[in-house]
Amino acid sequence: MTREFNTVGVVGLGTMGAGIVEVFARNGIDVVAVEISDAALERGRANLTGSTGRAVAKGKLSAEDRDALLGRVSFAVGLPALRDVDLVIEAVPEHLDLKQRIFAELDGICKPETILATNTSSLSVTEISVATHRPNQVIGIHFFNPAPVMKLVEVVRTVVTAPEVVADVEALCARLGKVDVTINDRAGFIANALLFGYLNHAVAMYESHYATREDIDAAMKLGCGLPMGPLALMDLIGLDTAYEILDTMYRRGGRDRRHAPVPLLKQMVTAGLLGRKSGRGFYTYEKPGSPVVVPDEQTPLADGAALADGARAIAKVGVVGSGTMATGIVEVFARAGYEVVSVTRGAEKSATMCETMKTSLNKGVVRGKLSEADRDAALSRVTWSASLEHLADVDLVVEAVVEELSVKKALFASLDDICKPGVVLATTTSSLPVVEVAMATQRPADVVGLHFFNPAPIMPLVEVVRTIRTSPETTATARSVCAALGKTGVVCADRAGFIVNALLFPYLNDAVRMLEASYSTADDIDHAMKLGCGYPMGPFELLDVVGLDVSLAIQRELYLELREPGFAPAPLLEHLVTAGYLGRKTGRGFRDHTHR
């Protein structure tokens, strides 16, 4: 029979602890909220009243319910106030020795049947449990920030946690309206194990001046639909907290170098740049604790990335290619007012692309996003051709042919002969080295990557990829064109994966490794990332959409260039692709799509 939790104790009333107090009190459970001193207790009380006050102001909580909620909470200094509670949740800073001391004290204070839980996000629940004489009644209950909003709870059992304790906590999570995933005690659990390798990689990009903080964050928000960019998220989490989590995961998780905190992170923590809580981290904030970013000294752009001056005038654009991406790019330029020459493999391909573009534009008219006059004007701006010679007078050429280096190099060599001096030559490659394409010409300073995302008319992001030979004027021109198209252009250096794929696919590969190790199910991992991190899709849902073969090819490119052991493709991914399990396009991937 499931036990009833009538009174719960919460130790530590920072942002997370106060949020956990609110979750229980909102659901009719009495809470004893404990801090170490009167001053800390008042700060905790202010956290709770501030959060509930904002909920009332936003209409998400009535004043009567807020008063009832606060009436269920009693505040106290010191652990002895918890002697009669049914469950204690500890939410103090991520220091193992501190948590062990608290659990040892709780063991002597609380009644024998009380469950002792830690909200740790990375430390070993087992190591915390052995500080007590009741390790079978110790469990991890990891809420996500902000606890009143985020639906996920990771329930972490140790090898000695009693099954009935796990069952009771799972039932409690359901009572709280949370979705729980139950997992074993491993560094980072699910969400942080997948999240923090990605965050650390983003910091490394920034540290090396590979891209600016704004461009890294914009790329992941616009290219992947994430609620926040990685550097802004680090500021929200707290750089000191992030450092402790990464350090713990590195030491406990097999010393994977991807979890070794980037040196810049340690330097910023030492300098007191902790993120929002200190008023400055990767960004500068209006005041400590404020989410409002204020202007500060901008990070110096990487070499060759000057953006403000020197952009060339672009009036006429050539697009080479016959596929979906090429069609979308033609539409994007034509709708933005550019004259476009579309070069395909023949009249039949041109006719097909023209019809596809008409269909897309007509949908825009039906949805009210485009007038009939605008549609007709866009169509009139396009000249369809089967000859590269018609690109002799354009100002910009965008190549969107098959992802084969030999094909692209041959094309660019031809464009070098045909196009007039000063023309910007752009490749839409998503994975090949732009510099190799550039060096097929006699004008590498004029060659740049313009990586559009599919579908090009809808996706707001373009990665502007500069090689070590790309001139500042070419980079400036590319970003200026992106702005004219209504796109956000993010500038990065010419490395495998650019920004989005370089950060996204190692995360997906890590998820496959987690499944391969039988740590959790694909469904629970997807739930963890969607509900715990606010991702629009779980990693396995996304892998099936992208295609396992495409994912494997990109991961191989990253591994071959960076030679980082942590980037080696997961064997399970290799095996599934070999067996023909490619995702939605074949009906089978990590899930069966044949009946959907």
Judge contact between 493 and 465, C-beta under 8 A: yes
d(CA 587, CA 593): 5
Residue from 35, 90, 94, 154 carrying the catalytic annotation:
154
527 is annotated as an active-site residue = no
Q: Give the closest residue to 170 by CA, choosing from 183, 187, 189.
A: 183
CATH fold label, 500-578:
N-(1-d-carboxylethyl)-l-norvaline Dehydrogenase; domain 2 (1.10.1040)
Q: Give the closest residue to 249 by CA, choosing from 260, 262, 234.
A: 260
Tokens of 34: 């404990």
Q: What angle do CA 475, 481, 487 make, to 5 degrees?
A: 110
d(CA 349, CA 343): 9
Residue from 47, 51, 119, 121 carrying the catalytic annotation:
121
Judge contact between 386 and 354, C-beta under 8 A: no
Residue from 122, 129, 192, 430 carrying the catalytic annotation:
192
Length of the chain: 596
Tokens of 440: 């097929």
154 is annotated as an active-site residue = yes
Position of tokens 């090009």?
456
CATH fold label, 191-294:
N-(1-d-carboxylethyl)-l-norvaline Dehydrogenase; domain 2 (1.10.1040)
200 is annotated as an active-site residue = no
Task: State how far the alpha carbon of 210 is from the alpha carbons of 2, 243, 498, 499, 568, in Å.
Answer: 54, 21, 9, 9, 22
Residue 231 CA, chain-centre distance (Å), reads 10
**CATH number of 316-493, picked from 3.40.50.11540, 3.40.50.1860, 3.40.50.300, 3.40.50.720:** 3.40.50.720
Strand order through the sheet with 339-343: 382-385, 339-343, 316-320, 396-399, 424-427, 447-452, 461-466, 488-493
Contacts of 52 (CB under 8 A, 6+ apart): 22, 61, 66, 69, 70
Q: Give the closest residue to 337 by CA, choosing from 351, 317, 366.
A: 317
Kindly state the helix (H) or strand (E) to which residue 154 belongs, with its residue range: strand 152-157
d(CA 25, CA 22): 5
Sign of CA dihedral 581, 582, 588, 592: positive
Predicted confidence pLDDT, tens digits, the chain (596 residues): 678 899 999 999 998 999 999 999 999 999 999 999 999 999 999 999 999 999 999 998 899 999 999 999 999 999 999 999 999 999 998 889 999 999 999 999 999 999 999 999 889 999 999 999 999 999 999 999 889 989 999 999 999 999 999 999 999 999 999 999 999 998 889 999 999 999 999 999 999 999 999 999 999 999 999 999 999 999 998 999 899 899 988 988 777 888 899 999 999 999 999 999 899 999 999 999 888 999 887 554 444 344 446 789 999 999 999 989 999 999 999 999 999 999 998 889 999 999 999 999 999 999 998 999 999 999 999 999 999 999 999 999 999 999 899 999 999 999 999 999 999 999 999 889 999 999 999 999 999 999 999 899 999 999 999 999 999 999 999 999 999 999 999 999 999 899 999 999 999 999 999 999 999 999 999 999 999 998 999 999 999 999 999 999 999 999 998 888 888 999 999 999 999 999 888 888 898 765 54
Domain map of the chain by residue range?
A: 7-184, 191-294, 316-493, 500-578
Judge contact between 181 and 527, C-beta under 8 A: yes
Identical fold at 191-294 and 500-578? yes
Q: Within 4-80, where are the H helices? A: 15-26, 38-57, 63-71
CATH fold label, 7-184:
Rossmann fold (3.40.50)
Residue from 142, 201, 451, 527 carrying the catalytic annotation:
142
